[in-house]
Copies of this chain bind each other. A is one copy, B any other.
């Protein structure tokens, strides 16, 4: 089996959400596993000096329009949560905690969190809100709440963010397949073509 595709995203990234809705399809089409790698774009932005997309003059307006248009094209429910941008630390920690035992369940939680935020427009910023979504997925909310404060998990998230930075990940979504990097929701087709052809 060929090596997995790394899928980097921030839970508060709307293009990351759109990518998350389609990445499973790509995995199946190409018989590749996807390693979901949530990270904290805010930390990366401190290094790069970049700013959150939707707040940028002109580009922000365009992005609002383009996000809705991109979602419509694939019939993906889409809305921007009232509270936006939002902290995604708790969502990330819950993901990495679950992943220790079961990567698939962690991915299911990630999708459920994303859908709560950008499908339903609800908040996933607070620990209790993350625990609630996890409970709907069959996890014990008290265990989740404890995990969010677990020093091992905190350290794990930090080292994941550092690892992403080291690999040159500066945006969300961001894919690395066989050492080749693709940035942006609009590069899913290129990623697929790369996997089909082995590169060019």
A183 interface contact, C-beta 8 A: yes
Q: Is the CB of B186 within 8 A of A58?
A: no
Residues facing B in A46-60 (CB within 8 A) are 47-50, 56-59
Residue of B nearest to A197 (CB): B73
Tell me the number of copies of this protein. Answer: 2
**Nearest CB of B to A170, in Å:** 4
Q: Does A82 contact B (CB under 8 A)?
A: no
When C-beta atoms are compared, the residue in chain B nearest to A73 turns out to be: B200
A183/B66 contact (C-beta < 8 A), A48-B58, A58-B168 known: yes
> With an 8 A cutoff between CB atoms, is A72 at the interface?
yes
Q: Which residues of B contact A44 (CB under 8 A)?
A: 58
How many residues of chain A get a CB closer than 8 Å to chain B's CBs?
29
A14, chain B: closest CB distance, angstroms: 16
Chain A contact residues, majority secondary structure: helix
A147 and B198 CA atoms in complex are apart in Å by 50
Q: Is A146 an interface residue (CB 8 A)?
A: no
Nearest-CB residue, chain B, relative to A167: B58
Residue in chain B with minimal CB distance to A193: B73
- Residues in chain B near residue A189, CB distance under 8 A: 189
- Give 23 pairs: A residue, B residue, CB < 8 Å, sorted on A: A47-B58, A48-B56, A48-B57, A48-B58, A48-B59, A49-B57, A50-B56, A57-B170, A58-B168, A58-B170, A59-B170, A59-B183, A62-B170, A62-B183, A66-B183, A69-B200, A72-B200, A73-B200, A184-B186, A186-B186, A186-B187, A186-B190, A189-B189
A residues within 8 Å of B by Cβ? 44, 47-50, 56-59, 61-62, 65-66, 69, 72-73, 168-171, 181, 183-184, 186-187, 189-190, 193, 200
The 10 lowest CB-CB distance pairs between A and B, nearest first, are A58-B170, A186-B186, A48-B57, A59-B170, A48-B58, A72-B200, A58-B168, A73-B200, A62-B183, A62-B181
